[in-house]
Structure 1
Amino acid sequence: MASNSVCASCLRALRQQARKEIQRQPSLASIRPQHTRRLLSTTTRALAAEEQPRSTKRQPSKPSSANPSAFDLSQLASQLRKTDTLRSATEPYIAYGSTEDLFKACARQCDYNIPNVLKQPPEPAPKNAGQEDVGVGSGWWVTPKEQGGLGLDVTFNTWAQVVFLHMYMMTVRLRCFPKEHAGIWHQNLLDHFFYAAEDKMAVWHGMTARGVRNKYLKDLWLQWRGLLLSYDEGLIKGDAVLATAVWRNLFKSSEEADIADVALVTAYMRRQLLRLDEMGDDVFASGEVDFEGPAAVKALAEKQSPWMHKSFSSEDLKELEPAQAPAQK
């Protein structure tokens, strides 16, 4: 994955390359040792200008391809990044920064806070029927249904499930990366979630004990593993199975869940997966990824299938019945 950032490992390699350039080229060997480090941030032409008397008026110089002593730092870094050793050393740093942006795109879809915690002195957070802390959130996932949203409870569990859903779609796209990259990127994306989850536990829910937070984090890890399995099964077996997975994870298997909302989320997932699939690796790896709103799929989800109004004859019903095994004599 290409990146414009240079980490400590890259910097050390660049210094070694600069020393080799000085030893190999006579024009660079004449530069004083104290100027060796400055070679990484300027051209040798600028260094030569510093050797002139201060009374001499400096004229801006144009880079010349005929001067073998001048080289571009960015081009050198790009060449060094192509080597297997340096790429393996810098890949975790690049993956960490890019997956942080990818996670922020997931977290923007549903965020919340608990105003009672900010009061002086702090007050207990209001509870819902399941004794979960209820806060104030943003995003169409928690917007009341009267205002066109899904109307989910503004709780930590809702936040985790909505972020998990978007992280799953990111994970599906990361599986298209080369094998040597996919594992590192997926692990960094998951780490960003658990950093944010632990922070919310401590700040908004008063879980100051590390042992208590670790218990909930382990439970979230098990939920993530099960979610991966259920959503993968839905992608393979069809929308009905995918909608069932959405109903179990996002809507908590509630009998009061609106089937139209379940269909809307299922269509939303299909469309976002298609958008991510059409996105190039370089664009996705840059972290500049965002998700569409529900309006893009709402009309599609509300459209009724013509089979809903089709009548079945007795012959059609017979074809749907499973074949009976012949009676044994």
Structure 2
Amino acid sequence: MSLIKSSAKLYYDCSNNFNFIALHKEFGLKDDFGTWYRLTLLHIWMILTRLQQTMEAYSYCYVKKMVTQNFHHDKTNRYNTVYKDQPSLKLKRRSNFRQLYYDVYMNSLFEYDDGFLGDDKYLAAAVWRALYLMEDEADIIYIERVVRYIRATLHFLDKIDTEVLLERGLDNWEPADDIVKKRVKLGEN
């Protein structure tokens, strides 16, 4: 499979194959565009972190570039869809839309990389800064759940052969599926 197709599939898996509803509830996040953006970015970072370990540098950089391009195109399309019926709100937000989301993108990748290299305290601080955008009211219980989710997901991804990941993508995010099963068992939606 070509790296172009692999990148498109991996991006699709990062943006659509995790259970958004279960994760935003489990992590105490709002059900909105910004949360979708930040959770998708987290999944992109996890996939790219996994691929960077085993891919040849040029191929990895190409996949990263293509996944990022797909992400930014999709983000813009979704944004336009969300605000299509509210033109005045869309125009107000549009003026700083690109810069704001680009800043969140760059900052999040840096924060997650930095946090990943440290222990769970460092990763928790990175999650608070990148996913919760330094909200004073962010509950440490939710942040701890995200840290456990990241560690479990990276462990899950490490078990998948790189060629298989590039060929087939990721049909499910097993740790996210476990969260869904737990919520169903507890009778939560």
User: Common fold, TM-score beyond 0.5?
Assistant: yes
Structure with bigger gyration radius? 1
Paired residue for 1:254? 135
Report how far residue 158 of structure 1 moved. Answer: 0.7
What runs of 5+ residues in structure 2 fail to find an aligned partner?
181-189
Structure 2: distance between partners of 1:109 and 1:283: 17
Paired residue for 1:268? 149
1:272-291 equivalence runs, <5 A: 272-289=153-170, 290-291=172-173
Paired residue for 2:174? 292
The structure with more helix, counted as a fraction of residues: 2
1:107-256 equivalence runs, <5 A: 107-108=15-16, 138-143=20-25, 149-175=26-52, 176-206=54-84, 213=94, 215-256=96-137
Report how far residue 264 of structure 1 moved. Answer: 0.9
**What fraction of aligned residue pairs are identical, expressed as a percent?**
22
Report how far residue 213 of structure 1 moved. Answer: 4.7
Report how far residue 257 of structure 1 moved. Answer: 2.0
Moved over 4 A (4+): 207-210, 212-215, 294-298
What runs of 5+ residues in structure 1 fail to find an aligned partner?
4-93, 112-137, 144-148, 299-329
TM-score by length of 2: 0.80
Report how far residue 195 of structure 1 moved. Answer: 1.0
Query: Cα RMSD between the aligned structures?
Result: 2.6
Report how far residue 109 of structure 1 moved. Answer: 5.3
Report how far residue 287 of structure 1 moved. Answer: 3.8
Report how far residue 106 of structure 1 moved. Answer: 1.4
Structure 2: distance between partners of 1:226 and 1:139: 24
Structure 1 residue 103 corresponds to structure 2 residue 14: no
> Cα deviations across residues 241-283 of structure 1 (Å, max 9, x unaligned)?
1111111222222232221111111011011112212211111
User: Aligned in 2, Cα 1:214/1:272: closer, same or farther, shift over 3 Å?
Assistant: farther
Structure 2: distance between partners of 1:213 and 1:195: 15
Structure 1: distance between partners of 2:154 and 2:94: 32
Report how far residue 295 of structure 1 moved. Answer: 7.0
> Cα deviations across residues 134-153 of structure 1 (Å, max 9, x unaligned)?
xxxx521233xxxxx33421
